[in-house]
A = this chain, B = another copy of it.
């Protein structure tokens, strides 16, 4: 069976990111200062981010030009291929057409460099010397480490301790790029020390690691903070994925009826889907957009749409998002990149506007889908991406049952070469499904701030 690949010529790589805010029927809720309850302004964010990124965070412009210096780095691996999954279609015996955009060809193996390179560039432009961030499974940290190396910036990464211990190879990748990696919670920050005082054996969480990184970044003018998902400007940078996919599907003479993506913080999902949703909002074709999340951390399907903190120590502004509560610590399932208590405010807003839908899957189903994908399409997906794969397979099988053909697009956001322990465990029967604890969520949600809610 032929491989069908749609490659854009390099000169058709998008020269602008797409900002969906310009096309939304209702503006997204404002971001609030936790102390005053008032909308925050650029000055409030200035200790953490360079002004160019703050402007993007609040921009109303439909398109934002990608600086030539960022495009120059993107071109190392972009435009990324769009594939028709013919062998998977055949294995499923489905009348559906399945396309996937593959972001695993980047040097860090995922979509994360799309924003890491942009963030490193704008920080470098404004004289920043060091970027401080957190990472869970390590995809984001390694992307920022790579981007830092490109622009000569120091990178300091607070890595969730359980991943630091269990995933030494992502750490090794960051260190190979020259970054310093610290297990979180650490003794280096007030936030970390407070957690350790209470629970010396804490294995950490993304929310804790964010607190540490934000605290350190805010201490020095030469340091800024970088976040790998959730924020508007991060989602913006990822839209290069969907902009390319639009052009590639045009080459294929096709258009998606259904778009599927996996959601942790929301950035790869948004990056692929927003340009298509925008086209629809501007009068273009309708498209069903499905966010797939893990049953163990189901912020979109089981969380509350409310104002909450992005971190555990409550150092961040308040954003309205689907949240399981900022103190909720999800169980240790293998898709570390989907283990965040909240969801991008823009993705949450779109769910509220019924422009997208959401579904949660159990861990074992996602790995079964990943193995089937590997054996048919030859690429082993990251555990996070397996959520997109299982979502796409489910839709393709529904087409088969109904005897109708639909065009399905999903974003394969990264390869699983750093996640083979999870595949080993899966094949040895050692993985199991996780139920999130409804009680824990209820407790965490009881702690939602009064401001905004």
Interface on A for B, CB 8 Å cutoff?
A: 1-3, 5, 7, 9-10, 72-76, 83, 87, 105, 107-109, 146, 149-150, 168-173, 175-178, 371, 374-376, 378-380, 415, 417-418, 420-421, 423-424, 427
Contact = CB atoms under 8 A, between A and B. Distances in A.
B83 A149 contact: no
A75 B3 contact: yes
A154 to B, nearest CB: 12
A109 B171 CA distance: 20
A417 B1 CA distance: 29
Contact of A378 (B76, B168, B378): B76
Given A3-B72, A73-B378, 19 more contacts: A1-B72, A2-B72, A7-B7, A76-B83, A107-B380, A109-B417, A149-B374, A149-B375, A149-B378, A170-B420, A171-B424, A173-B380, A173-B417, A173-B420, A175-B423, A175-B427, A176-B375, A176-B420, A177-B374
11 contacts: A7-B7, A9-B9, A73-B378, A149-B375, A168-B424, A169-B417, A172-B421, A173-B423, A176-B427, A177-B378, A417-B418
A83 B75 CA distance: 10
Contacts of A172: 420-421, 423-424, 427
Contacts of A424: 168-169, 171-172, 175
A68 to B, nearest CB: 9
A149 B376 contact: yes
Contact of A176 (B2, B173, B423): B423
A380 B87 CA distance: 30
The 3 lowest CB-CB distance pairs between A and B, nearest first, are A169-B420, A172-B420, A3-B76
Contacts of A168: 420-421, 424
